[in-house]
């Protein structure tokens, strides 16, 4: 297996061939990872949380689920999840306007900018920011539909494995949120890792 580091507070984009599998490792156990997938041949086609919610009729995902694109076709499948299975498919990525609303007077690293910077590193662009799959994010929803922001319940070394259902570009951002305990009670963003499996073909990074 080859391993790729997702630096703390930063994003990483990789190209995956159809059938390739990638393991997303929560190295320290408390890091949320905003996750996107795009069709490698058409960046206007992307993994869509609203279409996925329609497909699975749930507000959470689990191993065996196929996540679909904005044309309702499978783009990745979650084939394995060693964590307690708590992930978010409701919330947008953090962004500069969100941090300004939280009181930041200077620029704050954010997942939205990480997405576009990671794509730029491999010569690609997206004309907007799709809603991400927020791996390991713990936003429980109560009986009245109100959600709260809690630390992840994942453990060091927990991982999720995805299979690419076609040639895709996968982007992950190690969320830089440090104003609330989204990345653990210490509010300290950390690096995470990707491990590439030899099942299927890995396209060049």
pLDDT digits (tens, 9 = 90+) for 74-113: 999 999 999 999 999 999 999 999 999 999 999 999 999 9
Cα separation, 88 vs 16, whole angstroms:
23
Task: State the average pLDDT for the chain.
Answer: 95
Cβ atoms 149, 180 nearer than 8 A: yes
Q: Are strands 2-6 and 74-81 parallel, antiparallel or unpaired?
A: unpaired
Cα separation, 65 vs 155, whole angstroms:
22
Cβ atoms 128, 116 nearer than 8 A: no
**Structure-block tokens of residue 48:** 């869509």
Percent of the chain predicted with pLDDT > 70: 96
At residue 19, what are phi and psi to the nearest 5 degrees? 90, -15
Using one digit for the tens of pLDDT, what is the confidence trace for 156-191?
A: 999 999 999 999 999 999 999 999 999 999 999 999
Q: Which whole-number Å values give the CA distances from 2 to 6, 83, 160, 202, 205, in the listed order?
A: 13, 22, 16, 10, 12
Mean pLDDT calculated for residue range 136-142: 96
In the structure, how many helices (H) and strands (E) does the chain have? Answer: 3, 11
């Amino acid at each position: 297996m080859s391993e790729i580091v997702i630096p703390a507070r930063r994003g990483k984009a990789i190209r995956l061939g159809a059938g390739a599998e990638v393991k997303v490792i929560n190295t320290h156990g408390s890091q949320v990872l905003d996750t996107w997938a795009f069709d490698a041949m058409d960046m206007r086609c992307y993994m869509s949380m609203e279409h996925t919610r329609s497909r699975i009729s749930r507000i959470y995902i689990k191993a065996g689920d196929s996540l679909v694109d904005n044309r309702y076709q499978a783009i990745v499948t979650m084939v394995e999840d060693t964590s307690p299975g708590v992930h978010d498919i409701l919330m947008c990525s953090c962004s500069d306007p969100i941090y300004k609303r939280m009181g930041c007077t200077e620029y704050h690293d954010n997942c939205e900018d990480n997405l576009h910077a990671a794509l730029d590193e491999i010569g690609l662009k997206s004309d907007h920011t799709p809603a991400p799959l927020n791996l390991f994010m713990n936003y429980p929803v109560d009986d009245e539909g109100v959600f709260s922001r809690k630390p992840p319940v994942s453990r060091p070394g927990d991982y999720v494995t995805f299979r690419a259902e076609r040639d895709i570009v996968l982007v992950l951002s190690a969320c830089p949120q440090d104003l609330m305990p989204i990345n653990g009670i210490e509010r300290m963003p950390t690096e995470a890792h990707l491990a590439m499996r030899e099942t299927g073909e890995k396209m060049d990074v």
